[in-house]
Structure 1
Amino acid sequence: MPTHHNLFDEPWIPIRWTPQALRSAPGELPGRLGLQGVLEHSTDIATLAIPVPPAHSALLRILYALTARVTGLDEAGPGDWGQRRLEVLEDGRLPQERIEEYATRYRARFFLYDSDGGRPWMQDPRLAKQCDAGNTAGVNKLIVTRPAGNNHAWFRHGSDTNPDLPTAAEAVLSLLVWHYYGPSGRCSAREVNGTKTASATAGSLRTALSYHPEGDTLFETLLAGLIRPEATVRRGEDQCPWEWDDLPDPDAAPPTPSGPCSRLTACSQHAVLLVPDDHDPELVRDAFITWAYRAGRIPRDDPFLIWQISQQNNRYPRPADARRALWRDLDALLLKEPPGTSEPKRPKVFDTAPEVSEDLRVRALGFEQEGQAKDTQFVDASTPPVLGYIEDRAPRTAPAVARMRQLGEMHGHRLNRAVKLAWKLYTDDAKADADTWAAEAAARYWPRAEAEFWARFRQLDRTGRALDVGLDPAATRAAFLSLAREAFDAVTASITRTLRGAKAVSTARLELYGGRRKKK
């Protein structure tokens, strides 16, 4: 049995301590902890300090499942589930004895490497024989921030033949990204029962933006992120991958999650195996990455996503978009039935999260990417405390939030149409590309619109004493219109010195007010 890198013990998770913990500590506190340390000290930890948002999102799901296990909140009973969670909250910390008991029971399943026929954590040791050892994925493919293969190197240079070996801590975070955000399409070939195939299904969170309630401490964050199990859920059936007696059959259909713990941790469509460096076990020298199941797909039903309906009437999660500010999703997080033709449904976690605290923020984590190989940009954003404004608790303010969001977006879309029309009229070319102007206008408008939204949001009254909850629709409309007008004037100023340019700008300006009315 290996003696290195048990993830319960090894300090691999970067964290940020609360100011109070830093003040009261007799010495310098560590910047990283293992899983057991994170659970035991969650009251003194402000947040995880993971720089890669999809890895942060993935690890939160692992921690939610572990929190549910050690608190007994992985089942609906005995008694009222919400009351039992409040009792844990009142205790001020996760139960230390149960953390130690769980760590002792499953410690052998949390080794990062295992060469003695065991089960390395979140990996499939069978890949060493089922995949071609001469055609592995390599560490540049494993680490999602690196270029691999024939891709361009934007931020760092590297070589697949002589790569910089990642640390074990870096590798395990990327391992989680592959499990949750891995691409579909061709992967390393895997031979099972005499048949070799090389096609994988996309990960359960690929392309999606994940929304998490966030408290002042990791302890509050983890409790707020728990999902109330259905009455039929049993922990012996609702298992995490490290709790399975046997590894799943790659030729069989993937098992359907039976409860919150399996839904959070056992929806991977990829199989991965890390290979330690022969001379330094602190480094990873290679990786196998391939498909987990030959056919079938685990149903996507994550409680931290906004689900909506496409024009083809298909249900899909709201995608991550690095250009879209989080405030534009706020009404979809606070309202039970937000407006919109896509019929968005707020993440299930927000049904009960405010029971932990009304001062919870929302943290959005994701990866803007396509279903297959293309990855574009990470997404990491947070709000001020907003869950006290959720429709269930402040029914009068929620429609006001939706109205502000609609006005902000309406004038942003009108600005986009206006600058494109101005460019089209000025160039007298119906196919003229106005994307440069549109991008500049968006860069000027959206950050200021976000500041305007939050300024007005903070003025809303949720006591119920003000009938209009402090929202002046006319003034709000005028404020967003003013921001759009200023952005339009700044972008088009360069062409107003000519008669044709001035005419184009004057005509296009009407789009800021809704456009020229059509004659009936």
Structure 2
Amino acid sequence: MDQKLQFSLLSEPWIGVLWTDGTQDRPPAVGLKTLLTQARQIKALAVGPAPALSALYRVLYAITARITGLDEAQDGPDEWLDRRAELLESGPDTAAVDAYLDPLAARFDLFGPRPFLQDPRLAVECPKPAGVNKLVLGRPAGNNSTWFGHHFDDAPESVDGAEAVSHLLMWLYYGPSGRCATRTVGSTSEANASAGPLRSTLSFHPEGTSLWESLLAGLVPPESTVRRDQDLCPWEHEDLPDPLAAATAYPGPLSRLTGGWQHALLLVPDVGARHVTDAYITWGHRGKKPPTNDPYVIWQVSQQGNPYVRPADSGRALWRDVDALLLKEPSGSQAPRRPTVFATVGDLMDDDRISVRALGFEQDGKTKDVQFVQGCTPQLLNLMEERRPEIARSIGDLRVAGELYGRRLGLAVKRAWAEINNAKITDCAWAEQAAAHYWPRAEQLFWSRVRAEDFDGAWRGFRRLAEEAYDEVTAGPARTARGARAIEHARLELYGGRRKTRGTTPAVAQKTP
């Protein structure tokens, strides 16, 4: 293949951006070099879908750490924080960007001999490509059903290079487990892969008023023992990875950010190297790699004491996770742990310029993809526990109250439905209707209380919303005697249900806020 760069991610306009000045003469998309050198003039990234932006952020964090020297902290975390604060004021160094990226230019070519984040060996090690429809998430491939558009394997539509990068990133970070294309390496011939390191997760990214602020806020201090010549990103290794090598521990944060990938891909360009017409997609490593301990996810502990990442849920609004971002140890039986990145965000900026963007992909653990998930909080990190502990705790209590009445409402309508239909308590249409009525209104109440910092008696507002939702959903059957009895009996669940007493004393409603 010609050594000339064909689709250089350093210069090709593949990253969508929003500029701080809002003028129309600015380009809507830029290459990696412009993105980094003008990060102070860029307001935010305009990249989608949500998991593609989540993956791109991790790549950009790694590059930012490298060009700023924040990839090491040999003198300890305090000195690292001081250097980061100085960089916030001085802005990106164009010379440093060039010095890092120019020697690696060939590895940032999407279709070169060492294509960006791909394995050129797949053209020989795989008997055939998987097809461009397999590459593009949301397209039907093989015998799958058509949902978002009509695409056929007999006449596949190519995708432009910029879009192909997004799907490449999503496969590496969110790819499925199970059956994949056959790949033969030496005497090993396998056709299965483990799931990507972020599959089914929701991650949280601090965002400032400029991309430069966002990238610096997203960095985490490395351990003092980390060395940049060992903590390498995939494009920095001299050789391609050995897919049969035993998994080893990550030597630092950059290898964790850009490691853990279980899949290997190779994009096939058209003759002009502007579009992708086909793709090889297969396993990239035998056996599961160690966890990356990602600093942008919320960790929870199951009732059995096992830690797990809070999954992405398209039906769960972002406000229900806010206290897990503000508090070190939020209330609740599952004891969520705040993403590590937020431990030092307050050391970068003293005002309230930082908001939080949630990005994820609702999926099962194997192959089923459900929906992209995205949300953004107001600029509220000035309310973190380290700054205003009483307010942060009150916000946590507010969230708990909202969750409490949401659960009680769900149980109440399920019980009413079951009693009317002489059935077991289970999911039903009423539960979906009640949730659709309650949760959007609960979100409005939550944010209005947070903005006003008014937390006195806030639980009454959630209880009122639950009562209104219950009455609306059960209005029809309440007109019959049988329905009215069942509905009023189940209504007690809104207030905590019935509490049995000793002996034969009739049950009474449990007192509850």
**Superposition TM-score tier, normalisation by shorter sequence:** over 0.9
After TM superposition, give the deviation of residue 429 of structure 1 in Å. Answer: 2.2
Structure-to-structure mapping, 1:27-106, within 5 angstroms: 28-77=25-74, 80-91=79-90, 93-106=91-104
- Offset at residue 434 of structure 1 (A): 4.8
| Overall identity of the aligned pairs, in % | 52
Q: Helix, strand or coil for the counterpart of 2:158?
A: coil
Q: Which residue identity lines up with residue 123 of structure 2 in the other structure?
A: A
* Structure 1 counterpart SS, 2:479: coil
Contact 1:168-1:284 within 8 A present in 2 as well: yes
Matches within 5 A, 1:329-344: 329-344=321-336
1:323 aligns with 2:328: no
Please give the secondary structure, in 2, of the residue aligned with 1:42.
coil
RMSD: 1.4
Q: Which residue identity is paired with 2:97?
A: I
User: Shift of residue 15 of structure 1?
Assistant: 1.2
Q: Is 2:455 the counterpart of 1:471?
A: yes
Alignment partner, residue 350 of structure 1: 342
- Code of the aligned partner of 2:449: R
Alignment pair present for 1:361 and 2:345: no
| Ranges of 4+ aligned residues in structure 1 off by more than 3 Å | none
CA distance, structure 1, for counterparts of residue 236 and residue 467 of structure 2: 59
1:123/1:273 contact within 8 Å kept: yes
1:335 Cα shift?
1.1
* Equivalent position SS for 1:190: strand
Q: How far apart, CA to CA, are the structure 1 residues paired with 2:416 and 2:192? A: 47
Pairwise CA distance, 1:404: 0.2
Pick one of 400, 403, 414 that aligns with 2:408.
414
* Aligned residue runs from structure 1 range 445-464, under 5 A: 445-460=438-453
Q: Does 1:263 align with 2:251?
A: no
Q: Is the 8 A contact 1:423 1:434 kept in 2?
A: no
Contact 1:424 1:434 in 2 (8 A): no
SS in 1 for 2:498: coil
**Which amino acid in structure 1 is aligned with residue 245 of structure 2?**
A
| C-alpha distance in structure 1 between counterparts of 2:263 and 2:87, whole Å | 35
Structure 1 distance, partners of 2:305, 2:496, is 29
- Once the two structures are superposed, residues 331-371 of structure 1 have per-residue CA deviations (whole angstroms, 9 ceiling, x without a partner) of 11111112222221110000001222342111100000011
Instruction: Tell me, in whole angstroms, the C-alpha distance in 1 between the residues paired with 2:332 and 2:441.
Output: 24
1:6 maps to what in 2?
A: 8
Aligned length: 496
Residue by residue, what CA displacement relative to the aligned partner does 1:265-320 show, whole Å, maximum 9, x if unpaired? 12211111101113x32111111111111124232310001111223332211000
Render the CA deviation track for 1:109-135: whole Å, top value 9, x for unaligned: 111012xxx3111001111111112xx
Report the Cα distance in structure 1 between the residues aligned to 2:160 and 2:496, rounded to whole angstroms.
55
The farther-off stretch of 56-65 and 291-300 is 291-300
Give me the whole-angstrom Cα distance separating, in 2, the residues matched to 1:234 and 1:434.
53
Farther off after superposition, 335-344 or 38-47:
335-344
Amino acid of the structure 1 residue aligned with 2:264: A
The CA distance in 2 between the partners of 1:492 and 1:22, in whole Å, is 50
For residue 61 of structure 1, report the CA deviation from its aligned partner: 0.4
Aligned residue in 2 for 1:426: 420
* Residue pair 1:190, 1:291 contacting (<8 A) in 2 also: yes
Alpha-carbon contact 1:253-1:296 (below 8 Å) kept: no
Q: How does 1:232-271 map to 2 (within 5 A)?
A: 232-271=225-264
Aligned to 1:130: 125
**TM-score where L is the length of structure 1:** 0.93
Aligned to 1:480: 462
For residues 74 and 94 of structure 2, what CA distance do their matches in structure 1 show?
21
Whole-angstrom CA distance in 2 between matches of 1:232 and 1:105: 26
CA contact (8 A) 1:252 1:295 kept: no
CA deviation vs aligned residue, 1:49-71 (integer Å, no higher than 9, x gap): 11200000000001111111111
**Counterparts of 2:217 and 2:489, CA distance in 1:** 51
Q: Output the CA distance in 2 between the equivalents of 1:328 and 1:185.
A: 32
Q: Which runs of 5+ in 2 are unaligned?
A: 503-513
Whole-Å separation in 1 of the counterparts to 2:126 and 2:304: 39
Note the C-alpha offset of 1:256: 2.5
1:206 and 2:205 are equivalent in the alignment: no
Is residue 206–residue 214 contact of structure 2 (8 Å, CA) maintained in 1? yes
- Distance in 1 (alpha carbons) for counterparts of 2:499 and 2:188: 64
- Paired AA for residue 86 in structure 1: A
SS of the counterpart of 1:500?
helix
Show the counterpart of 2:281.
Answer: 289
Task: Name the structure 1 match of 2:302.
Answer: 310
Quick check: 59-68 or 93-102, which moved more? Answer: 93-102
Q: Specify the code of the residue in structure 1 equivalent to 2:489.
A: T
Residue 242 (structure 1) shift: 0.2
Post-superposition Cα deviations, 1:84-113, rounded to whole Å, max 9, x if no partner, equal: 00001111x211110111121211111101
Q: Contact 1:181/1:204 (CA < 8 Å) preserved in 2?
A: yes
**How has the CA–CA distance of structure 1 residues 296 and 413 changed in structure 2, closer, same or farther, with 3 Å as cutoff?**
closer
Q: 1:440 aligns with which of 397, 414, 433?
A: 433
- CA distance, structure 2, for counterparts of residue 366 and residue 426 of structure 1: 39
| Cα offsets for 1:192-228 (capped at 9, x unmatched) | 1122111101100001100111111111110100010
SS at match of 2:465: helix
Unpaired runs of at least 5, structure 1? 461-469
